[in-house]
């Protein structure tokens, strides 16, 4: 099975001070997709520059020609389906149909309270996502939508002319719980995992592989329950959050070994972070570029 290699470019550099160059480089290196985080800020970057995902991706769409673009991930924490759908439809148009929406329930970080609300519990986040995704699906596929929900409503919302990609741009749904899996099965063209967060600090690479194997089995079950085969669905692993996060980008060989283990599980796309000095995503730029140009060839050769 052929494996795709993609990257995440965090929106931390001003566009005219190296920001644009990163997206152009991602296309030149042959990455399948370049994603960015859709947060208001994130963890250790809270007091550092951080730009908006949708404007950044729009600029990236005009600076590239073939590279797919996406979010990993957008969440309901500070988004509403009606306004988001309009922005996504516009971005899909500007990119010429090269956009993928990664979407998940979000967390309890800075996004959760920036609008003045109390952070939602995991159950509340799941409740909102369960309403958010189907409504967004309708907004991007139907001409006019009116719907009254518990959390999100739309009144005669129109999205003309619709997406370039038909019937709409693809969703990559992040979720490891039963409800997230069901949403991925029902609405996703792809499923996203970062591994098992319980193994982040103390787990082993072997335990992580087995945890992802279990997640994939649950996805298969969720798809089977609605009569859908999971094989055509892309399975995306966003790296940087597994026990071997600090070694997988040490060399091309280390990456090839890591990627090979996960391809055998059924992962179809691996996403690596573009290096950021003095951060948890610090890595050797030369090794990063060699992984892009040599690593995938070794795996798929």
Q: Which pLDDT score, from 0 to 100, does residue 75 have? A: 96
Burial of 286 (0-12, 13-18, 19+ CB in 10 A): exposed
Q: How far apart are CA 140 and CA 151, in angstroms?
A: 19
Q: How far apart are CA 190 and CA 170, in angstroms?
A: 8
Q: Which pLDDT score, from 0 to 100, does residue 179 have? A: 94
Q: What is the DSSP letter of 170?
A: P
Q: Which pLDDT score, from 0 to 100, does residue 1 have? A: 62
What does each of the 301 residues of the chain score in pLDDT, given as a tens digit?
689 999 999 999 999 999 999 999 999 999 999 999 999 999 999 999 999 999 999 999 999 999 999 999 999 999 999 999 999 999 999 999 999 999 999 998 889 999 998 999 999 999 999 999 999 999 999 999 999 999 999 999 999 999 999 999 999 999 999 999 999 999 999 999 999 999 998 999 999 999 999 999 999 999 999 999 888 899 999 999 999 998 999 999 999 999 999 999 999 999 999 999 999 999 999 999 999 999 988 888 7
Q: How far apart are CA 221 and CA 209, in angstroms?
A: 19
Q: How far apart are CA 132 and CA 79, in angstroms?
A: 9
Q: How far apart are CA 243 and CA 263, in angstroms?
A: 17
Q: List CB contacts of 51: < 8 A, sequence separation 6 or more.
A: 11, 12, 14, 15, 19
Q: List CB contacts of 277: < 8 A, sequence separation 6 or more.
A: none
Question: Phi then psi for 250, rounded to 5 degrees?
Answer: -70, -30
Domain ranges of the chain: 4-299
Q: List CB contacts of 214: < 8 A, sequence separation 6 or more.
A: none
- Look up the CATH superfamily of 4-299: Luciferase-like domain (3.20.20.30)
Which residue intervals of the chain are DSSP H helices?
A: 20-29, 53-63, 81-94, 122-141, 178-187, 205-225, 252-265, 285-290, 296-300
Q: Are 167 and 179 in contact (CB under 8 A)?
A: no
């Amino acid at each position: 099975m052929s494996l795709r290699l993609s990257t995440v470019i965090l929106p931390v550099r001003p566009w005219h001070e190296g920001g644009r160059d990163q997206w152009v480089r991602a296309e030149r290196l042959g990455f399948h997709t370049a994603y960015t985080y859709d947060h208001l800020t994130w963890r250790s970057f809270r007091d550092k520059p951080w730009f908006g995902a949708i404007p950044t991706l729009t600029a990236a769409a005009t600076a590239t020609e073939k590279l797919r673009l996406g979010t990993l991930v957008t969440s309901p924490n500070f988004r509403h389906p009606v306004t988001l759908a309009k922005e996504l439809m516009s971005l899909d148009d500007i990119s010429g149909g090269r956009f993928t929406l990664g979407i998940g329930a979000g967390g309890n970080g800075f996004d959760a309270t920036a609008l003045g609300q109390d952070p939602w519990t995991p159950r509340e986040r799941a409740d909102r996502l369960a309403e958010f995704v189907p409504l967004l699906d309708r907004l991007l596929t139907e001409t006019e939508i009116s719907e009254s929900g518990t959390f999100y409503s739309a009144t005669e919302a129109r999205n003309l002319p619709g997406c370039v990609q038909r019937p709409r741009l693809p969703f990559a749904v992040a979720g490891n719980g039963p409800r997230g899996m069901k949403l991925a099965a029902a609405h996703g063209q792809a499923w996203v995992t970062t591994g098992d967060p319980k193994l982040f600090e103390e787990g082993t690479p072997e335990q992580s592989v087995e945890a992802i194997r279990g997640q994939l089995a649950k996805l298969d079950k969720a798809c089977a329950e609605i009569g859908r085969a999971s094989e055509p669905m892309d399975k995306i692993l966003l790296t940087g959050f597994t026990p071997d996060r600090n070694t997988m980008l040490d060399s091309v060989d280390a990456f090839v070994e890591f990627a090979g283990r996960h391809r055998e599980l059924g992962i179809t796309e691996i996403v690596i972070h573009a290096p950021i000095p003095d951060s948890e995503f610090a890595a050797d730029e030369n090794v990063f570029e060699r992984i892009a140009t040599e690593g995938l060839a070794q795996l798929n050769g």
